[in-house]
Structure formats: C-alpha cells, structure tokens
Amino acid sequence: MRVRVEGDSMRPALVPGDWLLVRRGAAVRPGDLVVARLPDDPECLIVKRAQWHGADGWWLESDNQRAGGRRDSWDFGPVHDIVGRVVLRYWPLVRRAGTASRPRRRRQTS
C-alpha cells in the first residue's frame, strides 16, 4: 500500500509530502517505521517508529517529540493494530505548470 506523509512528527526521517511504500502484515522489529491505526480513531493511519513489543502491543513513538499535534504511545499506550512496515520512502515528482514545451516540428527538406 502507499501512504503520504503529513505533519512533522517524524522529522528528520520523514517530511510532509514524502510517499511511503508499506508492506502489509510484514514482521516488525524495534526501530522499524510502521503504519498503524489510531486506537481511538481506527479510520486514521499514523506513521511511527516501533520501539518495543509487549503483551499489550507495540510501543510507537514519534521521532520529533516537539512536533505540535504529534500523537504516539505516550498519548494512547501500546498499539495492537499495526497495518504494515515501511519498506521504501520516495519523493513526489515535481510538476510545474507551464514548463512543458511543445514538440518541435521538423522541416522536411527534399
């Protein structure tokens, strides 16, 4: 699955606008970046770093603890619903309006 990063909670590893390729159901180890469902809002996905696994689930933390609006296991405790592990980060292609040029016509000479 593909996920777009929003917010600053995972800086400097991830920045807003980055895209992530996530392998659903992949094994998770401490230190991995994972996508999980918020315990109090299962429709909302979060990207966090897995710290440790206990009987109650994975402890997930933001890389940037000073980010405004960040939410992680310090707020809601261990998480059971891990969607998958991040396997690739990629950047969007920059599209600029008006920079595409028209194809040139070649003159035919006989």
What CATH number should be reported for the domain holding residue 32?
2.10.109.10
Q: In angstroms, rounded to a whole number, what is the distance separating the alpha carbons of residues 41 and 20? A: 21
Q: Is residue 38 part of a domain?
A: yes
Summarize pLDDT for 14-64 with one digit per residue, the tens: 999 999 999 999 999 999 999 999 999 999 999 999 999 999 999 999 999
pLDDT at 11 over 50: yes
**Percent of the chain residues past pLDDT 70, beyond the cut:** 85
Domain count, the chain: 1
pLDDT at 66: 93
CA distances from 60 to 47, 49, 94 (A): 9, 5, 32
Please tell me the total number of residues recorded for the chain in this structure.
110
Residue bearing the bigger pLDDT, 88 or 104: 88
Range of the domain at 30: 2-90
